[in-house]
Amino acid sequence: MSSRAESPSKVMEWLKWSVVMLLLVGMVGGNYYYAEFSLLARVLAILAASVVAIFVALTTVKGDAFNRLRKEAWVEVRKVVWPTRQETLQTTLIVMAVVFVVALILWGVDGLLGMGISWVIGAKG
């Protein structure tokens, strides 16, 4: 009996995703087919079809799960303590200083290794 209860739902899900795909294909095809129309008209038509496609997609099970995930992510983003401008500036300056120091160290090590290799192979330079 549960298979009968799930069957219309699966058919409806398939139908909704088919509508979404037809809208997307229609947008691409319509853009080429109606190339002689103004760009503004085509963009507005694509935006309208996109809104309809998104609305239909959000009514599916996967769309609903995506929408819940989006809402939960937004709640988590609001919990984040973002650094102040001063903290960001100080951290950036510290990172730049460390990168500069490491670059100097690597430049020195490269020079020493180059001199060592030159000494070993007897190259002049």
pLDDT single digits (tens) 22-55: 999 999 999 999 999 999 999 999 999 999 999 9
Helix axes 2-33, 39-58, angle to 10 degrees: 170
Q: What's the structural domain count of the chain?
A: 2
Residues 71 and 38 in one domain: yes
List, in sequence order, the alpha helices (H) in 36-84.
Answer: 39-58, 61-79
**Which residue range forms the structural domain that includes residue 49?**
1-80
Does residue 48 sit in the same domain as residue 33?
yes
Q: Kindly report, residue by residue over 81-110, the tens digit of the pLDDT.
A: 999 999 999 999 999 999 999 999 999 999
Residues 31 and 10 in one domain: yes
Residues 90 and 59 grouped into a single domain: no
Q: Are residues 76 and 92 in the same domain?
A: no
Return the exposure string of 55-82: e unless at least 16 CB atoms fall within 10 Å of the residue's CB, then b: ebbeebeebeeeeeeeeeeeeeeeeeee
